[in-house]
């Protein structure tokens, strides 16, 4: 067999292997994509229920100017925004917010009631340092935000009334979570003022 025919034969074989592999990957993706989306939605709904326990329904809504202004001010992105409802009445605002701690991709669920008071914070995804920033998942850290309102500050120790105490060795993560919370409290305040 000539060298040219051998190269062509090898090229055809490689093309067929690649085509079959691509078809198999597409088939697997077609089967798993809906399941992944369903699991992600379930995770979001569970997080929303944790951060706004009095609500029985979460109605997704579009970001308004208040939400966009809050995103810009705190350097966070609202991925999903929800009216939290109980018995059909709006009782607060919830959001899934992506911000930056030590690493990018720190994602939080945040609930704020109709009076602008934080009802809960849940870390839904992160790539923070284990043993340091990853401690943002700890209930003791997250519960510091509950009951606070307006712009929340971060103190290294001896937190004041509207401050939280930063995690030791993880100030960037503490600031990131606080920026996410402040994004939602600011969006809720501006929305309530309109």
Task: Tell me the pLDDT of the chain (194 aa) as tens digits.
Answer: 677 788 888 888 888 888 888 888 887 777 777 776 677 778 888 889 999 999 999 999 999 998 999 999 999 999 999 999 999 999 999 999 999 888 788 899 999 999 999 999 999 888 777 777 777 888 899 999 999 999 999 998 888 889 998 888 888 889 999 999 999 999 998 665 55
Q: What is the pLDDT of residue 35?
A: 72
- Relative to beta strand 118-125, strand 104-113 is antiparallel
Tokens of 79: 């991925």
CA–CA separation, 164 vs 169, rounded Å? 15
Q: Which whole-number Å values give the CA distances from 19 to 22, 48, 165, in the listed order?
A: 5, 42, 55
Q: Which of 161, 97, 125 shows the shortest CA–CA distance to 133?
A: 125
CB 78 within 8 A of CB 114: no
Q: Phi, psi at residue 64, to the nearest 5°?
A: -100, -175
Q: What is the pLDDT of residue 93?
A: 94
- What is the pTM assigned to this prediction? 0.78
């Amino acid at each position: 067999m000539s060298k040219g025919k051998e190269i062509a034969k090898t090229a055809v074989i490689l093309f067929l292997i690649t085509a079959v592999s691509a078809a198999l990957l597409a088939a697997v993706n077609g089967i798993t994509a809906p399941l992944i989306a369903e699991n992600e939605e379930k995770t979001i709904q569970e997080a929303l229920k944790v951060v706004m326990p009095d609500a029985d329904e979460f109605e997704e809504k579009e970001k308004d100017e208040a939400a966009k202004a809050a995103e810009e001010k705190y350097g966070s992105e609202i991925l999903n925004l929800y009216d939290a409802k109980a018995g059909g009445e709006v009782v607060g605002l919830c959001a899934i917010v992506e911000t930056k701690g030590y690493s990018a991709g720190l994602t939080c669920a945040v609930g704020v009631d109709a009076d602008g008071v934080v009802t809960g914070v849940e870390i839904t995804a992160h790539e923070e340092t284990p043993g340091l920033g990853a401690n943002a998942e700890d209930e003791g850290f997250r519960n510091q935000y509950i009951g606070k309102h307006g712009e929340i500050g971060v103190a290294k120790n001896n937190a004041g009334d509207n401050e939280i105490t930063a995690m030791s060795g993880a100030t960037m993560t503490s600031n990131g979570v606080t920026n996410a919370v402040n994004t939602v409290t600011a969006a809720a305040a501006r929305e309530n003022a309109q």
